Amino acid sequence: MENENRDMYLGMVLDERYELQECIGSGGMAVVYRATDKRLNRQVAVKIMRQSLASNEKFRRRFQTESRAIAMLNHPNIVSVYDVSRSDSIEYIVMELLSGETLKQYLRPRGRLGVREMLNFSIQIAGALSHAHNKGIVHRDIKPQNLIVIDGGTVKVADFGIADLQSEVPDVEN
C-alpha cells in the first residue's frame, strides 16, 4: 500500500449517516472501513476511493463503474451494496459487512481443498458470475483475494473494481 494514511477517515461520519470505525482492508484503488449505519443501526463496510486517485478521471470512472455494476446485482454469492455516494469529494460505496476471510486466507492453513469443498465453492462462484454475466457485467479479476468465505462455507464474490459493463447502465445519482 502506498504511504497514504489509512486512519485519516477514522471517526468521520459520511452523509450524517456512516460512522467510520476501523480500517479492515485496502487495495490499490480504495480503503475499506467497518462503519456503523446510524440510521439503520447496523454494521456495514464502506469502501472509500483513495484520496490520491480521486483527482484522476480514469480511476474515478473505474470506481463509479464498480458502483454501478455491483448495485445492479442481487445474488446470495455476491457482496450486497446498500448505498453509493459522494460526500465532501469522497467517493464511496456502502456494502454488507462480512464476517469471514478471503479465500487466500482460508487456504493458508488448510493447503488444498477437498473435492467436495472445492466443488461447493466452485458452484457458488460460477452461480455468482453467471448472474453478473446475465446482467452484462464481467468481473475480470477473480482471484482468491476477491472471494470471501463466510461461516457455513458460503462464498461471496467481491471487488468489481475492474469490471466491464457490457450493457448500458444509467448513471448513479450523487
> pLDDT by residue (tens digit) across 148-173?
999 889 999 988 766 666 754 444 44
The tens digit of pLDDT for each residue in 37-64 reads 999 999 999 999 888 777 777 777 777 7
85 touches 92 (CB < 8 A):
yes
Confirm whether 7 is a catalytic residue.
no
For residue 45, the cross-strand partners are 34, 95
Looking up cell 476477491 gives 146
Between the CA of residue 163 and those of 19, 46, 97, what are the distances in Å?
A: 28, 19, 21
Note the pTM of the prediction, 2 decimals.
Answer: 0.81
15, 37, 83, 141: the catalytic one is 141
